[in-house]
Amino acid sequence: MICIDALQYANWSEKVFRQMRDGGLDCVHVTIAYHETFRETVLRIEEWNRRFEAFPDLIRLAYTTADIRAAKAEGRTAILYGAQNPSPIEDDIGLVEILHRLGLRIMQLSYNNQSLLATGAYEAQDPGLTRMGREVVAEMNRVGMAVDMSHSAERSTLEAIERSTRPIAITHANPHAWHPALRNKSDTVLRALTSSGGMLGFSLYPHHLKDGSGCSLESFCRMIADTADRYGAAHLGIGSDLCQDQPDSVVEWMRTGRWSKRIDFGEGSAEAPGFPPQPAFFRDNRDFPRLAEGLAAVGFDKSEIAGIMGGNWLAYFDRVFDGTDG
């Protein structure tokens, strides 16, 4: 079984990388940009280059699914670069290809707010993909970069699904019907996503969970089972949204960036933003085996568990990054 997490933004360290190995994690999609410009994103890539030099026995960069498979064979964790906002391409579509050559393999079209490409989930109005958004989707399809709509609003997401010639992803979110968080996804979106070959990564971020930090493993896994009954297990995976060891100040950067002078509380909170405690069953990467155990307890068979824990993401990456079927 291959184990893939489709979204993390940890405070990266040797401790975190060793916990990835202890949890059997073969590949992680890591956020290298929220509101960073192109040059700032290059600096993030430089930081990762130093990590690869410092910990070559633990991690390696992945450009292709062959790199992911090689990392598993080598006992290392493959790192996939992703951006949670299109800010790294600024207003220049040509930077899509440049960033792809630098290793960027996944990019969200918006992060909560309206971008030059699409509308975020926190906006009151959603006019859908912009003219530039439609062009950028086509360019991402051409170079083999996955379109991610995790933080995007409904119409924009549906239009991205329709316009993209390669299946898109929602790397980290849950069904709105299970927990009505602003960013969780409707049945309409999930049906369109899965019927087009796209992927949903289930989030373990407490704001996205029923009962928040008190969510139980059984509740989380029963939600996955219900989702599989509706849309099929082959389109489901994990996108934990784990932000391990990050200070609360990082939430301000994630939510506010440079677009506001006020702190954007987000998620309807009346308090200053901060990281809530993780649920007891998933504190860090060492708990990935517990997810597999929970899936078995709610009735998934071995093949389905292998898919949800990573095989489905690998098949999706084959189609999107490499244009193959595995």
Q: Is the distance from CB of 41 to CB of 83 less than 8 angstroms?
A: yes
Query: Which two three-digit tokens encode residue 154?
Result: 């409904």
Side chain identity, residue 188: T
Q: Is the distance from CB of 251 to CB of 213 less than 8 angstroms?
A: no
Sign of CA dihedral 66, 69, 73, 75: positive
Q: Is residue 272 over pLDDT 60? A: no
Q: How many CB atoms lie within 10 A of CB 299?
A: 11
Look-up of token digits 């130093």? 50
> Whole-model pTM?
0.96
What pLDDT score does 215 carry? 98
Provide the pLDDT confidence category of residue 271 given band limits of 50, 70 and 90: very low
Q: Is residue 264 over pLDDT 80? A: no
**Residue pLDDT, tens place only, 275-305:** 899 999 999 999 999 999 999 999 999 999 9
What pLDDT score does 325 carry? 53
**Residue pLDDT, tens place only, 81-91:** 999 999 999 99
**Residue pLDDT, tens place only, 136-180:** 999 999 999 999 999 999 999 999 999 999 999 999 999 999 999
Query: Which two three-digit tokens encode residue 135?
Result: 């062009």
What pLDDT score does 249 carry? 86
Percentage of the chain exceeding pLDDT 70: 96
Alpha helices in the chain (DSSP H): 14-22, 38-54, 65-74, 94-101, 131-143, 154-163, 187-195, 217-231, 249-256, 288-297, 302-306, 312-321
- Paired sense of beta strands 199-202 and 236-238, if any: parallel
Q: Is the distance from CB of 84 to CB of 77 less than 8 angstroms?
A: no
Domains in the chain and their CATH numbers?
A: 4-321 (3.20.20.140)
Q: How many CB atoms lie within 10 A of CB 128?
A: 18
